Amino acid sequence: MLINLTILGGDGIGPEVTEQAVLVLQAAADTFGHQIQLQRKPIGGAALSAANDPLPGDTLQACLSSGAVLLGAVGNPAFDHNPGHLRPEAGLLRLRRELGAYANLRPAVFFPALEDCSPLRPDVVRGTDIMIVRELLGGAYFGQPRSIEGAPGARVAVNTMRYGEAEIERIARVAFDLAMKRRRKVSSVDKANVLECSRLWREVVTRIGKDYPGVKLGHQYVDSAAMLLVQRPTDFDVVLTENMFGDILSDQAGGVVGSLGLLASASIGGPVGLYEPVHGSAPDIAGKGIANPLGAILSAAMLLRHSFHLEAEAACVESAVSGVLAQGARTADLAGKAHTAISTEEMGRRVVEAVRASAGTGRDRTERTA
């Protein structure tokens, strides 16, 4: 198969971690007999510096004409005082919208090897396996009007949280469909005691839930969900929520499983899927070679699974990651006191090695399914 990709390194640690993910993709492609074709394009602050546009037309065209997009991160404090449309983040938000990527899947899985990394007691966190389904194109992120207006000292800022029934319906179906393949439980998170958007959300999710009698649906207010996520993370299977609540809860889930550096994501629903680690650009550690590339590498696994339907290849990358963690490989975010930290590159190299080591089994699998 031809795996045709656009790589958007972006800002901060983005380029370093995506480089390792690309090497892992290459190893998986070699192992399973696929071909990778890729082009690299600027986005975010990197594109602002080069073209004064956080999503240049050329970058968007490249994304739209490829099979999938792998992105590192956007965000650079140098642009903090720019107007909204000239911030790095605006490039990512526009890209999500242009790609029609309304469903953001953010798995938070606890690796048994990382018991010492979670701030939670092992008996609380052990077995955590959550799939956050975050609506990605609605809510306050995109709602109009939005503005800051008025004279200095008396300015007023406005954002609009907005959801249509159809938007809620389609993301709810994604969550229920995923739950059918998992532990058949959906926790819908809202703030229906305060927000109209959430009341409509709850009503629509309940209606869609009737089409999935085998799935247990529960509703939680976001404040309570935040507490339960640290108190009893294993109670959650699929978490279905709107854009901003999903942004917040997914970072929290990263903390629960030991490091945000491990979290991967897939943004799907449109013609081209977008894959990115959840962690962001982390400018404080950029260029030091210490960032954790596993979030990007696991995003690459999601890319193989969701955009190319290469399940065995995706599983191979995922088991390579748990394998190297089991052998004690730790980047600085995971090292703690008991381990010596290895570099971004070294972590990538070990995953590549583990993927290549599975070559025999990989080829067998390809032949069987061919």
SS (H, E, C) 167-194: HHHHHHHHHHHHHHCCCCEEEEEECCCC
11 belongs to the catalytic site: no
- Set 11, 237, 247, 333: catalytic member: 247
Catalytic position from the list 191, 212, 275, 333: 191
Q: What does 92 interact with, of Mg ion, ligand IPM, none (CB < 5 to 8 A by kind)?
A: ligand IPM
Active site residue 191: yes
Within positions 229 to 248, which residues make up the interface with ligand IPM, using CB under 6 A? 247
- How big is the chain, counted in residues? 370
Q: Catalytic annotation on 129? A: no
Please report whether residue 92 would count as binding ligand IPM according to CB under 6 A: yes
Is the Cβ–Cβ distance between 307 and 273 less than 8 Å?
A: yes
Q: How far is the CB of 95 from ligand IPM (least distance, A)?
A: 10
Phi, psi for residue 78 in degrees, rounded to 5 = -60, -25
- Rounded to the nearest 5 degrees, what angle is found at the Cα of 18, between the Cα atoms of 16 and 21? 120
Question: What track of x and - describes contact with Mg ion for positions 243 through 272 (by CB under 5 A)?
Answer: ----x-------------------------
Cα–Cα distances (Å) from 278 to 2, 153, 262, 271, 315, in that order, read 27, 36, 8, 21, 20
Compute the distance between CA of residue 274 and CA of residue 104 in angstroms, rounded to an integer. 9
Min. distance of Cβ 244 from ligand IPM in angstroms? 8
**62-91 positions binding ligand IPM, by CB under 6 A:** 74-75, 89
Q: Please pick, among 223, 235, 288, 364, the residue that the annotation labels catalytic.
A: 223
Strands 156-158 and 147-149: what pairing?
Answer: antiparallel
User: Which x/- pattern over 198-237 shows residues binding Mg ion (rule: CB under 5 A)?
Assistant: ----------------------------------------
- Choose from Mg ion, ligand IPM, none: what does 74 bind? Cβ within 5-8 Å by kind: ligand IPM
Are the C-beta atoms of 113 and 338 separated by less than 8 Å? no
Respond yes or no: is residue 223 known to be catalytic. Answer: yes
What is the helix (H) or strand (E) element at residue 35, kind and residue range? strand 35-40
> Which tokens sit at 231?
């108190």
Site string for ligand IPM, 245-264 (x = CB under 6 A): --x-----------------
11 binds ligand IPM (CB under 6 A): no
Q: Name the residue type at position 156.
A: V
Q: Is 278 in the site for ligand IPM (CB under 6 A)?
A: yes
Residues of the shown chain interacting with Mg ion in the complex, contacts defined by CB under 5 A: 247
Write out the catalytic residue numbers: 141, 191, 223, 247, 251
